[in-house]
Amino acid sequence: MAISRSELTPTGAIGAHALARRLGPWRPAGPRPAYAALADAVRVLLLDGRVSVGTAVPSERSLAEVLDVSRTTVAGAYAALRDTGHLQSRQGARSVLVLPVDMPAEPFDHGDEADVCRLNIAAPSAPDQVVHDAFRYALECAPAYLSGAGVYPSGLRVLTEVVARRYSERGLPTRPEQILVTAGAQHALRVVLDTLVSPGESVVVEQPTYSGTLQALARHRARVVALPLDTSHGWDLDHLESILRLQRPALVCMNPDFHNPTGLLLAADGRRRLGELSARYGVPIVIDETVVELGLDRAAPAPVAAFASRRAQVITIGSVSKTVWSGLRVGWIRTEAPPDPFAVARYDLGISGSVMDQLAAAYAVDELASFLPGRLDTLRAQRAVALDALGDALPDAVITPGGGGLCLWVRLPRPAATATAAAAVGLGVRLTPGSGFAPDGGLENYIRIPYTLGSDELRRGIDLVGRAYRQAIGSGAEPGEDETGLPGRLAV
């Protein structure tokens, strides 16, 4: 079923300065016309969700002024976006960003997007047999639930029990009453923000961090404070302490278990320190454990909450999205005391989860030991393919795999990530540039390469990313020819 659309009312507007900041260095270095590169860069922002559908764009004149380009360039970019169905214009009103009308209801899988190589998504496909068995189990259990209303605002007991047991196995004794079921980790974060953070208050995140975290914070109108995270040195917790002392944020959000996008893992002493910081500064810390089970080179230490004293407030969020399948939409919040304050927001933000999905998730979490090792083997093999393909396509890039997770954080020889992602759109590849993982843009030297696609598509996509990079820097050189004068290095 295709979506039809009548004339759109803008849901918000973005000013010329804000759009210029998000665009980053979009200008083409080579012969590509500036209007086309600008249109590509705006399209990337829209498709990545960094500027929402329904946003009114600045006038041609104001954007041209701020970008220091001719008005014809902006007019040409807007015309190109209109041609591809990404911009809707009305006489006398600001144009609005939209998605093409004929984009089908499942844009990731069908229609015009079918051939697109989605290197912007780090989510594995489902383990077919497990999901099949999980829903058979759900159907078998269903009769016991059908006589009731089917509304369980805190989650099904059968699910909270297996989730609590998994925490206990990982070194954090947990009772089912400490678990609040949500519709995934992203939903869990929204519930936490709704409960603990007022718009305008500060929240600390790693930089880079998962783009969904940044989107949730932006939507919540939180003030984001970045804690730089470096693949060579990891988390600088002295720096975090100085932020806590000086800025007194309302919340800290951390992703210490195979961090997205770097794959880094915080060691046990860092976990202990996080607990101490939470207690000393009275600040709640959200630990996003979405990727915790995906240790490819080593397993994660016990959860941060296991290292924290009673005075600390560590809120752990988790999900079946990466271990099982994002399509299930089941996640949770774990707190030390029963999560009653969060239950109110969870109810407001969606009453209760689907009974069938929770039953299926309970089955899958209970069965984790039977299928996770195979999934980790597949991811290891795909990571090796990605590293190999990157070695061919971007031989001068620097890559430091973090030990687990789903992505490689790739340092390009030149700061051309946005232009590379924009050029990749033209080659049929979606790619998130480093700026998508930073609250205020920047990180132009980085792109994230997930290794969740099958080997052939992964290799093809990475090859095209190499081509997009060379287009972006205006080089006709073949990979391996030194375009930069910088030493070539692939740190594995």
Binding mask 54-83 for ligand PLP (x = CB under 6 A): ------------------------------
Options 120, 154, 186, 418; binder of ligand PLP; rule CB under 6 A: 186
Q: Are 422 and 431 in contact (CB under 8 A)?
A: no
Tell the smallest beta-carbon distance from residue 188 to ligand PLP (Å). 7
Tell the smallest beta-carbon distance from residue 209 to ligand PLP (Å). 8
Distance CA 450, CA 407 (A): 4
Q: Half-sphere exposure of 211 toward its Cβ, with a 13 Å CA cutoff? A: 20
Window 242-301: residues binding ligand PLP (CB under 6 A) = 255, 260, 288, 290-291
Q: Which is nearer to ligand PLP, 120 or 400 (CB)?
A: 120
Matching residue, tokens 């810390």: 285
Task: State whether residue 374 is helix, strand or coil.
Answer: helix
Residues near ligand PLP (CB under 6 A), total: 16
Q: Which is nearer to ligand PLP, 86 or 375 (CB)?
A: 375
Window 326-385: residues binding ligand PLP (CB under 6 A) = 326, 331
Residue with nearest beta carbon to ligand PLP: 184
Options 100, 153, 212, 426; binder of ligand PLP; rule CB under 6 A: 212
Tell me which residue of 253, 294, 289 sits closest to 274, measured CA to CA. Answer: 253
Binding mask 93-132 for ligand PLP (x = CB under 6 A): -----------------------------xx---------
How is 42-73 classified by DSSP, letter by letter? Answer: HHHHHHTTSS-TTEEPPPHHHHHHHHTS-HHH
Q: Are 11 and 97 in contact (CB under 8 A)?
A: no
Tell me which residue of 234, 281, 225, 280 sits closest to 253, measured CA to CA. Answer: 225
Q: Which stretch in 80-88, 318-326, 345-353, 438-446 sits in contact with ligand PLP by CB under 6 A?
A: 318-326
Tell the smallest beta-carbon distance from residue 162 to ligand PLP (Å). 17
Which residues are CB-neighbours of 382 under 8 A, at least 6 positions away? Answer: 451, 452, 453, 454, 455, 458
Q: Which stretch in 55-63, 93-101, 178-186, 345-353 sits in contact with ligand PLP by CB under 6 A?
A: 178-186
Q: Which is nearer to ligand PLP, 73 or 231 (CB)?
A: 231
Q: Are 431 and 261 in contact (CB under 8 A)?
A: no
Distance CA 129, CA 251 (A): 40
Distance CA 193, CA 180 (A): 15
Options 137, 167, 210, 451; binder of ligand PLP; rule CB under 6 A: 210
Tell the smallest beta-carbon distance from residue 83 to ligand PLP (Å). 32
Distance CA 429, CA 121 (A): 11
Is residue 323 a contact residue for ligand PLP (CB under 6 A)? no
Is residue 185 a contact residue for ligand PLP (CB under 6 A)? yes
Is residue 443 a contact residue for ligand PLP (CB under 6 A)? no
Tell the smallest beta-carbon distance from residue 156 to ligand PLP (Å). 17
Q: Which is nearer to ligand PLP, 150 or 327 (CB)?
A: 327
Tell the smallest beta-carbon distance from residue 143 to ligand PLP (Å). 29
Distance CA 486, CA 253 (A): 36
Distance CA 50, CA 281 (A): 32
Q: Which is nearer to ligand PLP, 255 or 382 (CB)?
A: 255
Q: 12: how many CB neighbours lie within 10 A of its CB? A: 10
CA distances from 347 to 190, 194, 410 (A): 12, 11, 40
Q: Which is nearer to ligand PLP, 16 or 286 (CB)?
A: 286
Could you give the dihedral angle defined by the CA atoms of residues 140, 143, 144 and 148, in that order, rounded to the nearest 10 degrees?
140
Q: Which stretch in 77-85, 150-158, 179-187, 191-199 sits in contact with ligand PLP by CB under 6 A?
A: 179-187
Q: Which is nearer to ligand PLP, 96 or 320 (CB)?
A: 320
Q: What residues make contact with ligand PLP under the rule CB under 6 A?
A: 122-123, 184-186, 210, 212, 255, 260, 288, 290-291, 319, 321, 326, 331
